Amino acid sequence: MRIGINASFARKPNTGIGQVTLNFLKELARQKSEYVFVLYLEEDLPAEIKLPKNFEKKIFLPVWKRDDLIRKIWWEKYQLVKHIEEDKCEAFVSLYQCPTILPKKIEHLMVVHDLIPHIFPQYLNNARKKAYQNFSEGAIHRANKIIAVSSRTEKDLIKYLEIDPKNITVAYIDVDGIFKKEVSETQSAKVLKRYKLKPGYLYCGGGLDIRKNIENLLITYKSLLDRNKNDHLFAEIPKLVISGKLMPQMAPLITDAAKMIKELDLTKHVRLLDMVPQEFLPALYKNASVFIYPSKYEGFGMPVLEAMNQGTAVIAGKNSSLPEIGCDGILYCDPDDIQDMAMVIRNALLKKELRQTIAARGKERAKEFSWKKFTEKILNIIEN
């Protein structure tokens, strides 16, 4: 059997879908299989990915070279389909939701990570984004099988797109192997020196778009500082460290964290790190006293699982997929309630044993996720 795979996001390793693509391919390459896998790419794979003989690569771009939604639609909806048919693929895996619609003779499995643009229409703030979303939702309906990365995404598919539950399978993704390795003292020292940090800070990573709720986190942190001036529970509230690239062109979908920090007079207390290379992230998680992820919606929540793997206590929003991923290995807060968020953070900082218990539970829970399970589930669906 010839199985095609949309591996386009391999060229964007710093994105969640990029991580899913690369780790899925690595695991697939490790498994012995009689199938022929045809990888469809816009750029060649990173050098570290070694493919066995039963893998083929097809790299192509449309005439429109600009990396935007026009090229994306052209590549996924038209050129990709043409190549799949020419290569006589019998099954095809789309590793993310996209506009690809295939002839009925080709078994099409589509991985759906979330329905953020559908649930939060403010993300569809121009005609191109609306067109892409409409095309993608149409393709989701036409796919033979849907793989949802969480039960939350499965429920959203049923609720918002009225997808037949019989066509949906939940398959949990995982995080990159770098987060599963122990961070050495040398690595920690290097990263702490690079960012001029001392261990024990509060850390929030994963992006600055409005859904990530950085605005409420900064307001909450300000309230903790103000309250501590009166009740003196802490000699000093740990610094808050936030990573994420500020992209003014994305306004109003991005929180201007730098502006808020200035307005709230938090310059001495909050560090904004910009985008952090993945190689430094494990040490950033490891040296934090608490990782805070007050997101208002996630289809999965990879940063939470990354922190759990590093044995860091996590506080996350008690909504969408996060309780499903963290179970009893996370402390939860209402991301819309400043007082509730402040109370949970304060309790975590006051109670060292609580942090240690949560960190241990989280690390144990993280062992339940694996790329092997995810990959095998997809192959089993194709075979059956």
The 10s digit of each residue's pLDDT in 152-198 is: 999 999 999 999 999 999 999 999 999 999 999 999 999 999 999 99
Model confidence at 232, pLDDT cuts 50, 70, 90, reads confident
Cα–Cα distances in angstroms (integers) from residue 255 to residues 212, 270, 360, in the given order: 9, 15, 32
**DSSP label at residue 314:** E
pLDDT at site 230: 87
Average pLDDT (350-366) is 97
Whether 252 has a pLDDT exceeding 90, the answer reads no
Separation CA 8–CA 370 (nearest Å): 22
Structure tokens that stand for 381 in this block: 């669906």
Q: What angle do CA 376, 380, 381 make, to 5 degrees?
A: 120
Q: What percent of the chain has pLDDT above 90?
A: 91
CA distance 124 to 142: 22
Give the strand pairing for 201-204 and 240-242. parallel
| Confidence at residue 284, expressed as pLDDT on a 0 to 100 scale | 98
**C-alpha dihedral sign at 317, 353, 364, 20:** positive
**What does the alpha-carbon distance between residue 294 and residue 217 come to, in Å, rounded to a whole number?**
7
- High-pLDDT (> 70) share of the chain, %: 99
Does the structure show a pLDDT above 70 at 251? no
- Answer yes or no: is pLDDT of 248 > 80: no
Please, are residues 186 and 313 in contact by the beta-carbon 8 Å criterion?
no
What pLDDT, on the 0 to 100 scale, is given for residue 250? Answer: 67
Query: Is the separation of the CB atoms in 6 and 357 below 8 Å?
Result: no
Given a cut of 90, whether residue 7 has pLDDT beyond it is: yes
What is the C-alpha R_g of the chain? Answer: 22
CB-side neighbour CA atoms (13 Å) of 161: 30
Give the span between the Cα atoms of 206 and 215, in whole angstroms: 14
pLDDT in tens, 32-66: 889 999 999 999 999 889 999 999 999 999 988 88
Alpha helices in the chain (DSSP H): 16-30, 69-73, 80-86, 116-119, 127-142, 151-161, 185-194, 214-231, 257-263, 281-286, 302-309, 322-326, 338-350, 352-366, 371-383
How far is Cα 204 from Cα 223, in angstroms, rounded to an integer? 17
* CA–CA dist 16, 149 (Å, integer): 12
Distance CA 95, CA 80 (A): 14
Q: Which domains does the chain have, with CATH numbers?
A: 2-174+370-383 (3.40.50.2000), 177-366 (3.40.50.2000)
Using pLDDT thresholds of 50, 70 and 90, give the confidence band for residue 235: confident
SS3 102: coil
What's the whole-model pTM score? 0.95
Q: Residue 245 — pLDDT band, cuts 50, 70, 90?
A: confident
Has residue 376 got a pLDDT over 70? yes
Quote the CA–CA distance of 68 and 57 in Å, as a whole number: 23
Return the amino acid letter for 39.
L
